Amino acid sequence: MSLASTVRLVLAKPHPVGKPFIWGGVAAALIGWLFLGSWLFWLGALFTGFCLYFFRDPERVVPTRHNAVVAPADGRVVSVAPAVPPTELGLGDAPRWRVAIFLSVLDVHVNRIPIEGRITRIAYRHGAFLNAALDKASDDNERNAMAIRTTDGRDLAVVQIAGLIARRIVCSVREGDRVTTGERFGIIRFGSRTDLYLPEGVRPLVSEGQTMIGGETVIAELPPLVAPR
């Protein structure tokens, strides 16, 4: 990545969810500068800088292939294995391939739609706040699960999972919404995990340890549907 590209990434405009935190840091810095001393000024300035970085929302170049399933989040793949989707989505109890992506506080936290389709179900479930890198976080942690039906009728799921210090999951789409590949649909504050459950019979193209770029990295390709004879 070039220096100019790195600078554009770091200085990308913040997601609207982060603006109250950013302005809160600015206010603290001003109060410290005018009334309470340098310690509050520097604390507010550092907090503002961190929030500008954490809530950055860079533009992404989405693949043009209609059958491409892209990463729903930035981060590191911590698990690629068959798993049953969350029961609240009603997608059945047959295991399908799940790709789990862990987001550290240094990653972009804006979530993106993996493939064009329609939102058929959104379900929020309260739970624990374990380390999101742990495999059991998928089952035990607080989460927001979303089912998407592709234009050719296949179902997949994206699950936003809270982490050790992530206490706020934001989802900006609703059941019935039509969505496009790479479209922003939410954000998780301060460290988290995002799981992608592929349609039945579709295998992932990524491996554990790979770094994902939300909205750009191709996780899988949907094969053509075989028409019944």
* 150: containing domain: 68-220
**Residue of 31, 157, 185, 161 lying closest to 83 (CA atoms):** 157
Domain check: are 88 and 47 in the same one?
no
pLDDT band for position 11 (cuts 50, 70, 90): low
| pLDDT computed for residue 139 by the predictor | 66
* pLDDT, tens digit (0-9, with 9 covering 90-100), for 143-192: 899 999 999 999 999 999 886 665 578 889 999 999 999 999 998 876 68
pLDDT 10s digits, 92-129? 999 999 999 998 888 888 999 999 999 999 999 886 66
> Do 125 and 39 lie in a common domain?
no
List pLDDT tens digits, range 121-147: 999 988 666 555 556 556 667 889 999
**Where in the sequence numbering do the catalytic residues fall?**
192
pTM of the model: 0.84
pLDDT for 117: 95
Q: How many CA atoms lie within 13 Å of 227's alpha carbon, on the beta-carbon side?
A: 1
Residue 75 CA, distance from chain mean position = 9
Residues 152 and 203 in one domain: yes
Q: Kindly state whether residues 141 and 216 are assigned to the same domain.
A: yes
- 77 to 7, 27, 31, 176: CA distances (angstroms): 25, 38, 42, 29
Q: What kind and span of H or E run contains 149? A: strand 143-150
What tens digit of pLDDT does each residue of 31-66 get? 888 887 787 888 888 988 888 887 888 899 999 888
Strand partners, 179: 117
- pLDDT (tens digit, 9 = 90+) per residue, 191-228? 688 999 999 999 999 999 999 999 999 999 999 876 55
Question: What average pLDDT is seen over the chain?
Answer: 85
Q: Does residue 228 form part of some domain?
A: no
Count the domains in the chain: 2
CATH number at residue 86: 2.70.70.10
Per-residue model confidence (pLDDT) at position 167: 58
Residue 60 lies in a domain: no
How far apart, in whole angstroms, are the C-alpha atoms of residue 76 and residue 205?
14
For tokens 């050790």, the residue is 164
| Residue 12 within any structural domain of the chain | yes
SS3 content of the chain, % helix, strand, coil (to 5): 25, 30, 45
